[in-house]
């Protein structure tokens, strides 16, 4: 059963047109800077064992997994077929608009680690997605939701567009716990920019992650 956390107003967005239109053209760009991506890849290296069946939900042409680690499997999901087809980490993928349909075409307890990078902020029905993720995750499997402080503002529901970084961490955790996930671990860190900016003490994109583990 899905436990609702957000109000209707919190789900509304400036741009309510079909997300498929917004993502119709591939974007072969990095959405997060080098510093964020390095921190994310390090986290994956520490947390995801090679024997894991991995799902990169809300993916693109990059998955940020360590290049030298081979996993049992990596499945991708997103909204743009061309981006997903160009992602070298994915063994298979599918396209699905999660704001239209939240049921995932995956078996119960079939995934060890689900990754969502800079994606949760576009979910209008995160409760139903979180419930589905609990269903498909194996006992002791994990969910890693990572994000920074950027977004396509018009496409983010009001709960995200109007929230602070702290609000974002809190709402992801609250939605997960409401669906039966145990209280997640929170990571909130500054990063050091790469190159000259970093040498001069400049920061990169801030790094936030909510990490939940299904009980064994």
Ligand X SMILES: C[S@@+](CC[C@H](N)C(=O)[O-])C[C@H]1O[C@@H](n2cnc3c(N)ncnc32)[C@H](O)[C@@H]1O
Sign of the Cα torsion 155, 157, 159, 165 reads negative
Q: Which is nearer to ligand X, 140 or 169 (CB)?
A: 169
Distance CA 70, CA 67 (A): 8
Q: Which is nearer to ligand X, 7 or 97 (CB)?
A: 97
Q: Which is nearer to ligand X, 196 or 208 (CB)?
A: 208
Shortest distance, CB of residue 185 to ligand X, whole angstroms?
20
Q: What are the strands of the beta sheet with 207-213, ordered from one edge?
A: 92-95, 73-78, 53-57, 111-117, 137-147, 207-213, 185-189
Binding footprint of ligand X on the chain (CB under 6 A): 19, 23, 31, 58-60, 62, 78-79, 97-99, 117-119, 122
Q: Which is nearer to ligand X, 81 or 170 (CB)?
A: 81
Distance CA 42, CA 36 (A): 10
Shortest distance, CB of residue 135 to ligand X, whole angstroms?
18
Q: Which is nearer to ligand X, 31 or 168 (CB)?
A: 31
Report yes or no: 95 and 81 within 8 Å, Cβ to Cβ.
Answer: yes
Shortest distance, CB of residue 36 to ligand X, whole angstroms?
9
Shortest distance, CB of residue 54 to ligand X, whole angstroms?
13
Shortest distance, CB of residue 19 to ligand X, whole angstroms?
4
Sign of the Cα torsion 40, 155, 186, 89 reads negative
Shortest distance, CB of residue 60 to ligand X, whole angstroms?
4
Sign of the Cα torsion 26, 147, 66, 98 reads negative
Name the residue with the smallest CB distance to ligand X.
78
| Distant-in-sequence, close-in-space partners of 187: CB < 8 Å, separation ≥ 6 | 43, 207, 208, 209, 210, 211
Q: Which is nearer to ligand X, 51 or 153 (CB)?
A: 153
């Amino acid at each position: 059963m899905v436990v609702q956390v957000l109000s209707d107003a919190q789900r509304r967005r400036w741009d309510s047109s079909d997300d498929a239109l917004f993502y119709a053209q591939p974007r072969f760009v990095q959405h997060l800077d080098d510093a964020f991506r390095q921190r994310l890849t390090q986290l994956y290296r520490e947390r995801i064992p090679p024997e894991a069946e991995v799902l990169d939900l809300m993916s693109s042409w990059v998955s940020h997994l360590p290049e030298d680690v081979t996993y049992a499997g990596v499945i991708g999901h997103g909204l743009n077929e061309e981006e997903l087809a160009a992602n070298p980490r994915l063994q298979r993928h599918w396209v699905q608009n999660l704001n239209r349909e939240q049921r995932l075409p995956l078996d119960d307890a079939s995934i060890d680690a689900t990754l969502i990078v800079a994606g949760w902020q576009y979910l209008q029905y995160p409760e139903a997605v979180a419930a589905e993720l609990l269903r498909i995750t194996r006992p002791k499997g994990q969910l890693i939701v990572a994000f920074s402080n950027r977004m396509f503002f018009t496409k983010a529901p009001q709960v995200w567009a109007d929230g602070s970084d702290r609000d974002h961490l809190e709402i992801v955790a609250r939605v997960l716990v409401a669906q039966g996930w145990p209280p997640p671990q929170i990571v909130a860190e500054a990063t050091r920019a790469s190159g000259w900016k970093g040498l001069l003490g400049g920061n990169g994109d801030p790094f936030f992650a909510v990490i939940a583990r299904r009980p064994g």
